[in-house]
Amino acid sequence: MNWAIRTEGLAKSFTLHLQGGARIPVLQGVELAVAPGECVALSGPSGAGKSTLMRCLYGNYGAGAGRILLQHHGVEIDLAKADPRLVREVRHETLGYVSQFLRVIPRVPTLDIVAEPLVARGMAREVARERAAALLARLNLPAPLHALPPATFSGGEQQRVNLARGFAPGYPVLLLDEPTASLDAGNRAVVISLIEEAKAAGAAIIGIFHDAEVRDRVADRLFELHPLQGAA
């Protein structure tokens, strides 16, 4: 199979030193491969490790065992072993992540938060701002808000800023963690079309969608995760 991101025997457990060294296994033997243009929805009950897998794929959590292979500039790399500088580069160029909550940077205007990853990829600041403004408008965030830092925005508004930031660069691999959780029907439809456009452009997408309607619209298949037995 032609894949954009793939895991081999991925495992993750947490050792809680502050709780007497309790070891909590969360993932084991995860074998997931996603092709360009494909959208895979992670499924499974709460506690099955869906968010943990997403964070491992982004490098936010270190992989306990196994490999996370990624096509980066046409070269296969193992994100599980990559040094921090390579992970940063991959996040700039190849791998996008829309988390559930926006990590607000104080005093930075919304427009610049969205434009920043574009600038980091070498786009001229003005061009990046135009593209960011267009995307924010599409997500129904009125222009007067673009100049404000999103700290005081509602949950739904922040989520849309987050989505614009994640979709703007057109990453070859995109991770979506509950992208429509706090959105109304109109904005959900916008997100669905953004996902469809990204797929059409060849992006490999892995998502957690609790909203069954959205999931059924965008996911090509489900990837089932099961809670591990023997958790301490």
204-208 and 95-98: which strand pairing? unpaired
Scan residues 95-154 and list those touching other proteins (CB under 8 A): 105-108
Binding segment toward other proteins, per CB under 8 A, in 11-19, 133-141, 154-162, 210-218: 11-19
33-34 and 22-30: which strand pairing? unpaired
Question: Is residue 16 involved in binding other proteins (CB under 8 A)?
Answer: yes
Scan residues 31-90 and list those touching other proteins (CB under 8 A): 55, 59-62, 84-89
Pick between residue 162 and residue 180 the one whose CB is nearest to other proteins: 162
Q: Measured between alpha carbons, how far is 52 from 58 in angstroms, rounded to an integer?
A: 10
Pick between residue 85 and residue 186 the one whose CB is nearest to other proteins: 85
Pick between residue 7 and residue 187 the one whose CB is nearest to other proteins: 7
Pick between residue 86 and residue 190 the one whose CB is nearest to other proteins: 86
Torsion over CA: 123, 73, 93, 136 (sign): positive
C-alpha 46: how far from its chain's center?
Answer: 18
Question: Is residue 18 involved in binding other proteins (CB under 8 A)?
Answer: yes
Contact 110, 161 (CB under 8 A): yes
Question: Is residue 232 involved in binding other proteins (CB under 8 A)?
Answer: no
Pick between residue 38 and residue 177 the one whose CB is nearest to other proteins: 177
Pick between residue 17 and residue 229 the one whose CB is nearest to other proteins: 17
Interface with other proteins: number of residues (CB under 8 A): 20
Q: How far is the CB of 192 from other proteins (least distance, A)?
A: 29
Q: Which two tokens stand for residue 179?
A: 């992208």
Contact 187, 140 (CB under 8 A): yes
Give the closest residue to 30 by CA, choosing from 66, 73, 83, 72.
66
Contact 181, 188 (CB under 8 A): no
Q: How far is the CB of 161 from other proteins (least distance, A)?
A: 17
Q: Measured between alpha carbons, how far is 159 from 157 in angstroms, rounded to an integer?
A: 5
Q: How far is the CB of 13 from other proteins (least distance, A)?
A: 11
Residue that the structure tokens 């997931």 belong to: 32
For other proteins, the binding residues (CB under 8 A) are 14-18, 55, 59-62, 84-89, 105-108
